[in-house]
A and B are shown apart, each in its own frame.
Chain A
Amino acid sequence: MTDNAHIPEETLALYALQALDQAESLVVRAHVAACAECRTELARTEGDLALVAMNTEQHPLPQGARERFLSRIGATSETEPATVISIGNKTPAMRTTAWPAWLAAAAMLLIAIGLGFEVHTLSRQLDATAQQLAEQTVESRHAHEVLDLLTAPAAQHVTLTTGKTPPAPAARAVYLASRGALVLEASNLKPLLPGKAYELWVIPANGAAPIPAGLFWPDTAGSASVVMPNIPAGVTAKALGVTVENDSGSATPTLPIVLAGATPAAGE
């Protein structure tokens, strides 16, 4: 969608409306981050959306809403220093939020010692905080890897289809061999029998055995995704394929291949 060209304006509008699927949104976000022209057009589109929102009928605030809000910010003023907390999931923000949270955890510990609070209670809270931060760190790293994959010039964009008869099962994948990074977004998948799963395969160009790249199950709409499966780096792929396997996974693909797509020759 974005290899060398700009994002189509229709697609930018859908992105601004959050009407794209996750994989498409990630691709657009990565492109917009690096393309001033598309960023400008996206800004114009966001401005259009603001104008549409302006036409919303005005309603009075619920009783007490103002007081509830002021009480909330008053409570934070008394208990916390100013910290930067993102309610979104933009990757750079996630990377930066972990450190203020660690500092907050450390501050909690010092306060507990100084004031003689119940140490065991705070300890449990700190454990929970540390666990949460560890999870955030993993998520942050994961998101960073996804963004790196989507923005890498060497990443190969592969479309996997079974045919042209709608609504045909289809999948779109982005694969970066040098990092073993892969994202796949599938749609219109047929439901599976109990005990079965779809399995994604990386088919090496050197003729080696296909490498399993993740099990996935479609939702009720037939959509599914595989994000950053655990696969080895440095495997130049000839193609990607999807088979139906037992839900515990398989070491080798079971025919037939229900979805397949060859990697572009120019890729890694």
Chain B
Amino acid sequence: MTENLSNPNLTRERSFNRSSESAGAPLFTEADDQSLLEGVRLKDEKAMANLFDRYGGMVYSVALRVLKDPGNAEDVMQEVFFQVWQNPQAFVPRRGSLAAWLLVVTRNRAVDVLRRRKPSDSVDDVILPASDNIAVETERRTMMEKVRAALHRLSPEQQQSIELAFFEGLSHSEIAAQTGDPLGTVKTRIRSALLSVRRAFQP
């Protein structure tokens, strides 16, 4: 289950964007995202289509990773982008990059579907650090390599905890029950694993 986190070979050729668009294409900038979002606020369907083209593959892939069902994953993707269309003001630029926001919202919605529960938070609840400019400051492939390396360095137990919590959507008590580890240990592992990812981007 933790193979995808630990085996860099499985992710070597991954691209943050659709392959047809990412090869040699300039990086998307936050300014681009903002101008497109402004268009969405004005109900410009072309602007929305551009956002969909830009991030659709990424959003769908995260939903598919969680749900493992293409139909359900597309439903989540459609719902996330439809939410952007209906309520673009839910994303506030100072919260960070649109890409990061979409990733987190998509993962949360996919887990809601997986657990067959009502949406457990509002998109308004998802906030990101203003400095977290996935779309601007760092080349995405480089970022992915850093993330991959950081995850690869985690202990197997940490990788399993992150896998179960992030992609399987299990609660900490469910993880503790499944792994046989104490609740406090599970909490600490998850926290330290996320910190390891964060430190990979700190100077």
Residues of A within 8 Å of B61, CB to CB, are 56-59
Asked, given contacts A19-B165, A53-B107, whether A47 binds B60 with beta carbons under 8 Å apart, the answer is no
Instruction: Give 23 A-B contacts (CB < 8 Å), ordered by A residue.
Output: A14-B165, A19-B165, A19-B170, A19-B172, A29-B121, A46-B128, A48-B194, A48-B198, A51-B147, A52-B166, A52-B197, A54-B140, A56-B65, A60-B18, A69-B52, A72-B82, A77-B43, A82-B86, A84-B86, A87-B119, A88-B120, A90-B122, A90-B125
How many B residues have CB within 8 A of the partner chain? 87
Contact with B along A226-266 (1 / 0, CB 8 A): 00000000000000000000000000000000000000000
Query: What is the size category of the interface that chain A forms with chain B?
Result: 35 or more
Cβ–Cβ contact A17 & B166, under 8 A: yes
Knowing that A47-B129, A69-B52, A85-B87 are A-B contacts, what are 13 other residue pairs whose CB atoms are under 8 Å apart, sorted by A's residue number?
A14-B165, A14-B172, A18-B111, A48-B197, A49-B104, A50-B96, A58-B61, A65-B74, A69-B81, A73-B45, A86-B122, A87-B109, A88-B120
A55 near B15 with CB under 8 A, answer no
Determine whether the beta carbon of A58 is less than 8 Å from that of B198.
Answer: no
CB interface residues, A 36-93, toward B, < 8 Å: 39-40, 42-62, 65-66, 68-70, 72-74, 76-77, 82-90, 92-93
Residue of A17, A55, A59 near B11 (CB, 8 A) is A55
Rounded to whole Å, the gap between the CB of B85 and the closest CB of chain A is: 5
Instruction: Tell me the interface secondary structure of chain A in the complex.
Output: helix
Segment 158-203 of B: residues with Cβ below 8 Å from A = 162, 165-166, 169-173, 175, 187-188, 190-191, 194-195, 197-198, 201
B78: which A residues are within 8 A, CB to CB?
65, 68-69, 72
CA distance A70 to B47 in the complex (A): 11
Most chain A C-beta atoms within 10 Å of own C-beta, residue among B89, B106, B198: B198
Report the separation of the CA atoms of residues A20 and B197 in the bound assembly, to the nearest whole angstrom. 21
Q: Does A3 contact B (CB under 8 A)?
A: no
A70 to B45, alpha carbons, bound, how many Å?
8
Is B153 at the interface (CB under 8 A from chain A)?
no
Taking a contact as CB atoms under 8 Å apart, the answer to whether B122 and A43 are in contact is: no
Q: Among the listed A54, A55, A60, A88, which residue makes an inter-chain contact with B124, where contact means beta carbons less than 8 Å apart?
A: A88
Q: Tell me the bound Cα distance from A10 to B176 in angstroms.
A: 14
A25 within 8 A of B: yes
Q: A17-B190, A49-B104, A93-B122 are in contact. Are A58 and B43 (CB under 8 A)?
A: no
